[in-house]
């Protein structure tokens, strides 16, 4: 009997180590997923000629682009490691370095179980949709008062494939082929794929709370470093931060050549600049002068720490070499005076610890 509908209960999201991965050990289920969206767009060129009103053909000149985005609650860094981001407890590895080198991309699989059945408890036949040769284009972390910190990631893929006749067991799911392709000629790969059984994926934290978030702005909070006007020092004296958003955009250019239907690579457009946007309720101001900032502003290190329920850091981001780009104030009758600040940091090489975003997570399970 056909399903009437599909809801979150019946879906699970998996990511592969790389586009050539096929075994259970090379796939991981992402945890705390909240949404998953995917689409593709085909650009065609109409072929017309004198003597005929309607087109005689419509050919594809450019390889279709498959778009995928998902959001999940920030945890202990397991998802970040599975997605290819760098994690190091000593803050010595660039967070985005794994996505800045030439690779075949990753495969993403959305597994769907029968209607009314939790995928985590399902060992029967299911369907699967796969996005092949997917490359990261954006990573955004949003944290605000009253909300669970959430990460959103976006990918650009080369192919999308679906199969509705896979089989399942208590070990995993099989019976379908990889969604990856040979990027040089667009040939479909036929290697069989096996996904691990879905699980709750309980790590060191189930979810993080806004009350356990701290942001240290380093030298930007001291008056002698030409920091912002609003006081953003740590503790009760600083502004009351309401939200923070870290965005790492990695736009890519498809490299094509004659004789191939698909781009042979999707390279990152350098330089890559990340931004941190902060909104706060103003209480005090510091001694600051825009003329001093123009004459020479020192870079600072900003650290965002997300503590678990046990009080230890579950995830921590360190922005090294950050500089203040803008600061705006808003004041009106009936509302608190607020300030919005934007900092930027340029992404350096994997071992660059002076211009980079570094990450440390409490996760102790190594993906793949």
The structural domain count of the chain equals: 1
CB 278 within 8 A of CB 215: yes
Give the mean model confidence (pLDDT) for residues 95-111: 90
3-state secondary structure of 221: helix
pLDDT at 202 > cutoff 70? no
Task: Please tell me the predicted confidence (pLDDT) of residue 80.
Answer: 96
pLDDT bucket at 226, cuts 50 / 70 / 90: low
Q: Dig out the tokens for 201 from the structure.
A: 């994926």
| pTM: predicted TM-score of the whole model, two decimal places | 0.94
b vs e for 84-113, b when ≥16 Cβ sit within 10 Å of the residue's Cβ?
bbbbeeebebbbbbbbbeeebbbbbbbbbb
Give the mean model confidence (pLDDT) for residues 123-127: 79
* 339 class by beta-carbon count within 10 Å (0-12 exposed, 13-18 middle, 19+ buried): buried
Task: Please tell me the predicted confidence (pLDDT) of residue 187.
Answer: 85
pLDDT at 204 > cutoff 70? no
pLDDT bucket at 223, cuts 50 / 70 / 90: low
Which residue range is the domain that position 267 belongs to? Answer: 210-361
The pLDDT > 90 percentage for the chain reads 63
Task: Please tell me the predicted confidence (pLDDT) of residue 299.
Answer: 85
pLDDT at 332 > cutoff 80? yes
CA-based R_g, the chain, Å: 24
pLDDT bucket at 161, cuts 50 / 70 / 90: very high
Pick 53 or 206 by higher pLDDT.
Answer: 53
Q: Considering the domain boundaries, does residue 267 fall inside one?
A: yes
Among 123, 128, 126, residue whose Cα is nearest residue 108:
128
**C-alpha 23: how far from its chain's center?**
24
Task: Please tell me the predicted confidence (pLDDT) of residue 1.
Answer: 57
Domain containing 243 — which CATH number?
2.30.110
Local structure of residue 230 (DSSP, 8 states): B
Q: Considering the domain boundaries, does residue 215 fall inside one?
A: yes
Most confident of the ranges 170-184, 261-275, 291-305, 320-334: 320-334
Distance CA 266, CA 252 (A): 6
Q: Considering the domain boundaries, does residue 306 fall inside one?
A: yes
Mean pLDDT of the chain: 90
3-state secondary structure of 82: helix
Q: Name residues whose C-beta falls within 8 Å of residue 3's C-beta, 6 or more positions apart in sequence.
A: 114, 115
């Amino acid at each position: 009997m056909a399903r009437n509908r599909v809801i979150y209960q019946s879906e699970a999201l998996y990511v592969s180590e790389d586009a050539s991965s096929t075994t259970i050990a090379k796939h991981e289920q992402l945890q705390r997923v909240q949404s998953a969206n995917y689409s593709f767009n085909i650009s065609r060129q109409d072929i017309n000629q004198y003597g005929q009103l309607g087109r005689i053909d419509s050919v594809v000149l450019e390889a279709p682009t498959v778009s995928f985005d998902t959001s999940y609650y920030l945890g202990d860094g397991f998802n970040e490691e599975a997605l290819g981001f760098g994690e190091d407890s000593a803050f010595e590895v660039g967070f985005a370095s794994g996505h800045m080198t030439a690779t075949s991309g990753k495969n993403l699989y959305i597994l769907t179980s029968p209607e009314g059945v939790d995928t985590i408890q399902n060992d029967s036949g299911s369907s699967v949709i796969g996005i092949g040769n997917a490359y990261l284009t954006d990573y955004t972390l949003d944290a605000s008062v009253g909300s669970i910190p959430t990460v959103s990631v976006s990918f650009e893929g080369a192919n999308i494939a679906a199969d509705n006749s896979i089989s399942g067991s208590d070990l995993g799911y099989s019976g379908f082929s990889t969604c990856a392709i040979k990027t040089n000629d667009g040939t479909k790969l036929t290697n069989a794929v096996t996904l691990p059984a879905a699980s709750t994926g309980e790590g060191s934290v189930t979810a993080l709370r806004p009350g356990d978030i701290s942001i240290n702005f380093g030298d930007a909070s001291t008056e002698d470093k030409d920091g912002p006007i609003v006081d953003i020092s740590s503790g009760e004296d600083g502004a009351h931060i309401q939200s923070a958003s870290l965005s790492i955009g990695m736009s890519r250019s498809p490299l094509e050549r004659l004789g191939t239907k698909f781009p042979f690579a999707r390279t990152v457009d350098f330089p890559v600049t990340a931004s941190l946007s902060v909104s706060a309720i103003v209480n005090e101001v510091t001694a600051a002068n825009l003329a001093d900032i123009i004459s020479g502003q020192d870079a600072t290190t900003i650290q965002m720490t997300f503590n678990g329920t046990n009080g230890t850091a579950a995830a921590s981001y360190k922005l090294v070499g950050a500089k203040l780009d803008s600061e705006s104030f808003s004041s009106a009758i009936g509302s608190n005076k607020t300030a919005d600040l934007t900092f930027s940091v340029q992404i350096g090489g994997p071992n660059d610890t002076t211009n980079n975003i570094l990450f440390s997570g409490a996760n102790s399970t190594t993906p793949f």
